[in-house]
A and B are shown apart, each in its own frame.
Chain A
Amino acid sequence: SALTQEASVSGTVGQKVTLSCTGHTNNVGSLPVGWYQQISHGAPKAVMFGDSLPSGIPDRFSGSKSGTTASLTISGLQPEDEADYYCSTWDYSLNVVVFGGGTKLTVL
């Protein structure tokens, strides 16, 4: 994948977890990153764009970026947050939407 994500992350209920998405100056370093949550192979749902929270998404989700790494932080992890999370943005060099390989978040 053009963007690199952890294969798996785990945390306990109430814990804060951070998922990362690393790319290059042509993609993550240049534009906001979108994050998608996919629960049990259902339809993905947008949970963050840059540092903006879509309507209806709990405010325990937050987004940030430093250089060519974007992060999705979940503060106060809940059982319903267990899902696969994908990051995505535009790549100026490739002229394509690029995705990370996805992070499987397990709530212990």
Chain B
Amino acid sequence: QLQLQESGPGLVKPSETLSLTCTVSDGSITSTSYYWGWIRQPPGKGLEWIGTIYYTGNTYYNPSLKSRVTISVDTSKNQFSLKLTSVTAADTAVFHCGRFANGYYYMDVWGKGTTVTVSS
């Protein structure tokens, strides 16, 4: 059964870069049927899509974050990664990686999520 696991620092200082990696297990990131990406949830708030990537490197980003976001894929490691630059307290959230099916907007398999706090 496909599993995804987020990893990365739980605390990032303001103005620095948030970096997370998602490791895919029991499934191939090079499957032609799926995309991969990130969704976040600030404390006590709803869900926000960050972006989606295909194994070839094609990306789709939330316009509100596009200037600060980079999502990349490493097929040799079956991983994909998120970088968010110039973070502020407003970027504090639980970050979920996942698999997108039926296109690049429906996350059918979710990672458990990792909490990232932006604070000095």
Contact = CB atoms under 8 A, between A and B. Distances in A.
Interface of A: 1, 31-32, 34, 36, 42-46, 49, 54, 86, 88-90, 94-102
Nearest to B101: A49
Interface residues on B, range: 20 to 34
B47 A88 contact: yes
A46 B47 CA distance: 13
A44 B62 contact: no
Contact of A49 (B52, B104, B108, B110): B108
Which of the listed residues B46, B96, B107 has the most CB atoms from chain A within 10 Å of its own CB?
B46
Interface string B82-120: 000000000000001000011111111111110000000
A44 B105 contact: no
Contacts of A36: 47, 107
A88 B100 CA distance: 13
Contacts of A43: 96, 110-113
A98 B60 CA distance: 13
Contacts of A31: 105
